[in-house]
């Protein structure tokens, strides 16, 4: 009690410093942000334009949504999924199948709602099955590594490893290429999902349970919040986020293939690793129980910003991947050093 009163009597500057002392990682991230931003303004042409900023947020939106889904998994102490891009690819294939052929019935061909629901259902099923195995006591990394191979195999088998096309005037255009109030729909979805996820984590029972189970599995078990149901729910949330990204991406490209999200996706190599990188660069504890989706969103925008700057400077994909890799390793080491002796240790 006395500490609170003392804290209230402190002058504003001291309070500000205290705030930053408690949030060292956030401070580091924000200052890196600022450095990058100023560097970009002075040394990169065409950086400070509205179009460029829209492009940055649009880039960030695609892996940001997946990363927000993954944050739930990470916060609940289940590390991460290695099957993100495979889940996305099989959902994308499902959606494109629905748009192109209507799953065999010509009446449903091009029906946006049915295709969307089918894609989300595939995401839910894959999330529930993987979550079940993890909840039973399997290691998340190994289970999802196996799940990745199976999902990719099924997706490629189903689509015969071909590109599935559907023609341009279709019902999903508003999601893929449409925009609202000057921002693309995918960016709006990113913002809405980020806000919703933050509210769910901070102000609902479920969100607090996620933190509890992640911070201390034994305590969670003792108070009746077992990891079994938690694993299933968070894996489902993550897979549904992947499915949504896949639907938006496929709606933009008017086509789908089983390896759309593989190695050459975007700029920084592998989609799965990029999403995991986003969660880590944001400064979430990979051991669980510490972090937020706000950090993840900031991480996504940060990675997109650095990547965008390197593109504008004319770098090839090699240096860009090195850049993102260095960011991950740096943030891990900084986080590890700051959390030494408390959280990072089991």
Partner 1 sequence: MENFIKKITKDVDLSFAILLSFCVYVFFAINIEVFFSHNISFAILERFAVLGLVGLALTICIIAGEIDLSIGSNAALCAVIVVKLTDPLGAPLAMLIGLSVSTLIGVTQGFVIAFIRIRAIVITVGTLMLLRGVALLIAEEKTVMLTDFRVPDFITTKVLMYFSPASLTVIFIFICVGIFMRYTKYGREIYAIGGARKEALTAGIPLRRPMIIAFALSGFCAGFAGTVIGLKSGTAQGLGLQYLLLAGTVAAFVGGVSILGGKGGVLGAAIGALTVNFLNTGLVFYALQVHFVQLFTSVLLVIVIVFQTMSRVFDSRQARKSLLATIDERKTSLLEKKRSALGK
Which residues lie near partner 1 (CB under 8 A)? Answer: 79-80, 133, 136-139, 141-143, 145-150, 152-154, 156-157, 161, 258, 263-264, 268-270, 273-274, 276-277, 280, 286-287, 316-326, 328-329, 332-333, 336-337, 340, 344-345
For residue 11, give the DSSP letter. -
Is 87 or 258 the residue whose CB approaches partner 1 more closely? 258
For residue 178, give the DSSP letter. -
Q: Which two tokens stand for residue 72?
A: 């739930």
Distance of closest approach, residue 72 Cβ to partner 1, in angstroms:
18
> Which of 336, 340, 310 has the alpha carbon at shortest distance from 323?
310
> Which of 268, 333, 253 has the alpha carbon at shortest distance from 302?
268
Distance of closest approach, residue 25 Cβ to partner 1, in angstroms:
14
**Residue 45, H or E segment:** none
Is 248 or 327 the residue whose CB approaches partner 1 more closely? 327
Whole-number Å distance between alpha carbons of 294 and 194: 7
Is 38 or 153 the residue whose CB approaches partner 1 more closely? 153
- What's the alpha-carbon Rg for the chain, to the nearest Å? 21
Whole-number Å distance between alpha carbons of 279 and 303: 11
Specify the length of the chain in residues. 346
Whole-number Å distance between alpha carbons of 289 and 336: 15
Distance of closest approach, residue 2 Cβ to partner 1, in angstroms:
34
Is 268 or 292 the residue whose CB approaches partner 1 more closely? 268
Distance of closest approach, residue 154 Cβ to partner 1, in angstroms:
7
Distance of closest approach, residue 108 Cβ to partner 1, in angstroms:
27
Is 186 or 310 the residue whose CB approaches partner 1 more closely? 310
């Amino acid at each position: 009690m006395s500490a609170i009163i003392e804290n209230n009597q402190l002058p504003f500057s001291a309070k500000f410093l205290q705030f930053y002392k408690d949030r060292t990682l956030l401070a580091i991230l924000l200052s890196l942000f600022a450095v990058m931003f100023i560097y970009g303004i002075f040394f990169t042409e065409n950086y400070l334009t509205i179009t460029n900023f829209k492009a940055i947020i649009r880039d960030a939106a695609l892996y940001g949504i997946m990363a927000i889904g993954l944050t739930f998994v990470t916060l609940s102490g289940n590390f991460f999924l290695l099957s993100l891009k495979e889940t996305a690819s099989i959902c994308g294939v499902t959606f494109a199948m629905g748009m192109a052929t209507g799953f065999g019935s010509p009446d449903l061909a091009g029906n946006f709602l049915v295709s969307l629901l089918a894609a989300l259902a595939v995401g839910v099923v894959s999330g529930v099955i993987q979550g079940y195995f993890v909840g039973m006591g399997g290691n998340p990394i190994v289970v999802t590594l196996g799940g990745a191979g199976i999902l990719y195999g099924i997706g490629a088998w189903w689509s015969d490893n071909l590109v599935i096309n559907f023609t341009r005037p279709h019902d999903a255009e508003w999601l893929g290429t449409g925009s609202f109030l000057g921002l693309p729909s995918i960016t709006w979805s990113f913002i809405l999902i980020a806000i919703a996820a933050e509210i769910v984590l901070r102000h609902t029972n479920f969100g607090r349970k996620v933190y509890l189970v992640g911070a201390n599995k034994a305590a969670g078990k003792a108070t009746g919040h077992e990891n079994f149901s938690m694993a299933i729910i968070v894996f489902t949330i993550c897979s549904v986020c992947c499915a949504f990204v896949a639907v938006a991406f496929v709606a933009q490209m008017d086509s789908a293939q089983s390896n759309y999200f593989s190695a050459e996706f975007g700029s920084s190599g592998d989609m799965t690793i990029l999403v995991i990188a986003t969660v880590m660069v944001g400064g979430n504890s990979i051991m669980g129980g510490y972090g937020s989706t706000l950090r993840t969103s900031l991480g996504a925008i940060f990675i997109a910003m650095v990547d965008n700057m390197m593109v504008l400077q004319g770098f090839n994909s090699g240096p860009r991947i090195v850049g993102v890799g260095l960011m991950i390793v740096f943030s891990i080491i900084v986080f590890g050093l700051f959390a030494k002796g408390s959280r990072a240790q089991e």
